[in-house]
Chain A
C-alpha cells in the first residue's frame, strides 16, 4: 500500500475511533482538533490538576469514555494527534490550519470530517443577556471546569440534553428551579415506546427524570418560552404553560436548546452534497452507507454529518475508517485489507440504532413554530444585532427567495458565527414569510474562515507547511 496522507478533523468519539482503526491497520493518521485534549464535547477531559474520576465526569458513559480515552492514549506513537488546531479552510486537497496560533497548510489524500455538533437554538426575548447559556454550554462548564452557570438555574427547550444536564446540575449541588420542555406531553408519550425499546438510552432518560422527581424538581411539558426577566442579567424566566397561562420563576441563569445541529462548514467548503432531513428538521451532509461523502476522498462520521449521539458516532467513525482502508486497497489490489465484513457489521449496528434515533427525534421535536413567531423586537442575529422585525422588513423590501440572499439584504448570519447560531431560526422566518417549507429557504453557505482567525497570526509569521 502506498503511503497516503489521511487526515481526521475532530477528536471526539467518531474521530478517535476512526484514528484507532486506521492506526491498527498500520497507517499513522493525523488528527486535528481545536480542543487542548481529545474527547470531543461528550468525552471532554478536565484541565490538568482536576481530579474528578470518570464516573463523576461521564456518569452512565464512564465505561465507554474510559475505554476510548485509554485506547487513544495508548496509541500515542501511532496517531499524529495535534490538539489546539483550528482548520479554517479547505481548498482542493489542502487544509489551512492554525496550530497553536501559527498558520500551516496540510495536504491530504483522504480526509475524514468528524466535526461534531453544536446546540441548536431559537432566539427568544432576553436570550443575549448575561446568564443565558445553551444546554451544551452549561454542561461543558460543569464537565470541564466543575463550574455551574448559576446558583439557581432554569432549564428549558426540547433536547435529550434537557433532562440529562438538569440532573447533572442537581447532582453537582446547583439548585434546579425547573425543567421546562416545549414538547407537548402527548408527543412525549407517543415517542416513549420507541425510546424504551431502542436499547439502554431511553432507560437512562427515565433515570434522569426519576432523579429530578426525587429532588422534587418540577418538570413541565408543552411550555412556550416568553422572556428573560431582568435588565442587566438574568433575574428570572417567564413562560406560558400548555394552557397559555404565564408563569414567572426566579433564577440567576438559564440553559436552553433544541437538540443539536451539525458543524458541517468544512464539509460545505470541501464541496460535499447536502440533503434536508425531515425527521431532524435540518440539513445533513450526504454520506453513503460506508460514510463516503459525494466528494471522492472525503469521508464523514458522527454528529457532524447527522445527529445520532456518541455511540452512533463511534460506530460511524469505525465505519468511515474501514471505508478508507477498503478504498486504499482498491488502489493496490494486491493488498486485500478485508474490510467488507467489518463494514457490513458497522452498517448493521448503525441500522439497529435507526429506530431509537427516530424516537428521539419524535420525543424532542424542533419547535419550528417558536422560531416563526419570534417577536419583532427580539434580537435574531446577535453578532450583527439585527432584530427579527428588521429581518422581516428586509425580506418584505427586496423579496429574497433563500437565506443567503436574505443574509445579503439584512446582515443576518453575516457576523462572527456566520449564522451557525441564528441560521435555523432565520430560515424558519423566511419560510413563513414566503409561505413555503423550510427546506425551500435553503441553508447558509459556508465561507472561510470557518471560525474567526486573527490577522496578526498571518501578518507576523511566515506560513509553514507541516
Chain B
C-alpha cells in the first residue's frame, strides 16, 4: 500500500458529505481519492438518529437544507438506493404556551425560505396524534421532512463514488498534510504519499485537527449522541417527533422499532470509542415516556453512539480555507448534518471545480473562529434558534 498517488482532489473523511463530494468529482472526470480512518459513515453520518429534517434549523442553514431535501428525493437515481428515505413529516412538540410561541416564530421565519410549516393545537392535535401525552399543548408539522437509515446512506454514496471511478480508501487515516509549490502533500498511516491540487477536509469531529495543520484554529468539541431502539411495536407513530428544547426525539420504522434519543453519551477520542452512556440512557427513557406514555411498555433492545463535532455556534464550517488556496473545509455539523450531507457534497464539488457555489455559504465561513476576513454578514440572517438551545443536540 506504500507508493505515490497523484490526484486532482484528495478528501479526508468518509462521511456522507465526503463520499458525495467524491461521487460528484469523479463523475466530473477528476482523479479523486477519499481517505477514511475506519469505514464510510462510521461516525456522525452513520450513527445519528436518521432524521431528514428542515424544521427547527438555524435559518442560516435553510438554503443548504432546502437544496439537500431535493436530493433526498433523487437518491435512487444518484446512488442506486433510496437510503430507506420516507417523507414521514416531522412534528415538533410544545409543552408550554411559550414553547408554542417559539414554534409560531419559526414557522413565520421559515415561510420566507419557502418552507411550509403547519401549526397544530387543540382538538386537531388530539385527533391526529392520539398517542401523545397530556403535557403536549401544541405542535408544528413539516410534512416534507422525513427519515432515512443512516447506516446505509454514506456507504451508498461511497459505493456509487467507487463505481464512478473514485478511490475510496477505508482503514487508511491521513496522518499529516501540507501545501507547497507542487500542491498538497499527504501521508497516510499506511505510508502512502499522496499529492493533490485540491484538498477537502470533511473530517467531522477531527476536522479541526486537519484545519490546524494549515494554521486555522477552530474550537470543535467532540460530542456523542445517545441513541436507543426498542423491540418492534405496533406501527402508529408515522411522523418523526421532536420537542422544543430538543431533549428527546423519536421515530418509528415501518417494521415497528421505536428509535429515540436525546442528551449526550460519552466518548474517548484517544481510543475512538463512544457509548450512549447509562445515566443519559435512563434519563432519555423518562423523557420519552413524558411525551409518549405508552412507550413505557416497550423494551429497549440496543443503544449506540458515535462521535460528532460541535462548533460553539452549532452551525458548520463550510467553505474555502482563509490561509491555504485549494483547501476546502466542511465539518462541525454539530449533530444535525445527516440531512445536509448530500447537498454539502454537491457544494464541495462546486467549490473544487469552479471556486463558487450557488448556495449561500457566508454564515459558515471559517473566519468567524479564526479571526480572518469573513465573506458576508454572518449574523444578519441568523435566527430561529430554540430558546433552550443547550439541550438541542443530535436531533438530525
Contacts and interface: CB of A to CB of B under 8 A. Distances in A.
Contact of A459 (B156, B231, B285): B285
B151 interface: yes
Contacts, number: 78
Contact of B303 (A408, A447, A460): A447
Contact of B300 (A414, A452, A460): A452
A455 B296 contact: yes
B111 to A, nearest CB: 38
Interface stretch (A88-96, A107-115, A190-198): A88-96
Interface in B146-200: 151-152, 155-156, 159
Contact of B296 (A408, A415, A460): A460
B299 A455 contact: yes
Given A398-B159, A408-B46, A458-B286, A453 B300 contact: yes
Contacts of B156: 398
Given A94-B278, A448-B275, A448-B276, A455 B298 contact: yes
Given A448-B275, A459-B286, A453 B304 contact: no
Contacts of B285: 455, 458-459
B278 A455 contact: no
Contacts of A384: 255
A91 B278 contact: yes
Interface in A42-85: none
Nearest to B288: A455
A455 B302 contact: no
A458 B298 CA distance: 11
Interface string A443-464: 0000111001111101110010
Contacts of B151: 408-409
B272 interface: no
B301 A405 contact: no
A416 interface: yes
A409 B152 contact: yes
Contact of A418 (B275, B286, B302): B302
A416 B327 CA distance: 46
Interface residues of B, number: 30
A449 B304 contact: no
A103 interface: yes
Nearest to B41: A408
Interface in B253-310: 255, 275-278, 281-282, 285-286, 288-289, 295-304
Contacts of B304: 447
B302 A459 contact: no
A103 B282 contact: yes
Contact of A455 (B230, B255, B275): B230
Question: Could you say which of B155, B156, B281, B282 has the most chain A C-beta atoms within 10 Å of its C-beta?
Answer: B282
Q: Report the interface size class on chain A.
A: 20 to 34
B65 interface: no
Contact of B289 (A415, A449, A455): A455
B39 interface: yes
Given A408-B151, A459-B296, A460-B296, A448 B303 contact: yes
Interface string A378-414: 0000001000000000000111010001001100001
Nearest to B277: A91
A19 to B, nearest CB: 25
Contact of B301 (A91, A408, A415): A415
Contact of A454 (B255, B286, B288, B298): B298
A246 B282 CA distance: 53
B178 to A, nearest CB: 31
A431 B288 CA distance: 40
B278 A89 contact: yes
Interface string B239-261: 00000000000000001000000
Contacts of A398: 152, 155-156, 159
Given A103-B282, A398-B156, A449-B300, A416 B231 contact: yes
Interface string B340-382: 0000000000000000000000000000000000000000000
A327 to B, nearest CB: 24
Contacts of A416: 231, 299, 301
A404 to B, nearest CB: 9
B33 to A, nearest CB: 17
Nearest to B286: A459
Contacts of B300: 449, 452-453, 455
A418 B229 CA distance: 12
A459 B289 CA distance: 7
Contact of A452 (B255, B278, B301): B301
A107 B288 CA distance: 27
Interface string A103-123: 101000000000000000000
A463 B286 CA distance: 11
Contacts of A397: 159
A414 B302 contact: yes
Nearest to B38: A405
A43 to B, nearest CB: 29
Question: Could you say which of B285, B303, B304 has the most chain A C-beta atoms within 10 Å of its C-beta?
Answer: B285
Interface string A296-330: 00000000000000000000000000000000000
A94 B46 CA distance: 28
B39 A405 contact: yes
Given A91-B275, A447-B302, 5 more contacts: A96-B278, A398-B155, A456-B289, A456-B296, A459-B296
11 contacts: A103-B282, A398-B155, A447-B303, A452-B299, A452-B300, A452-B301, A453-B300, A454-B296, A455-B296, A459-B285, A459-B288
The 7 closest A-B CB pairs, nearest first, are A452-B299, A456-B296, A459-B289, A408-B151, A458-B285, A458-B282, A96-B278
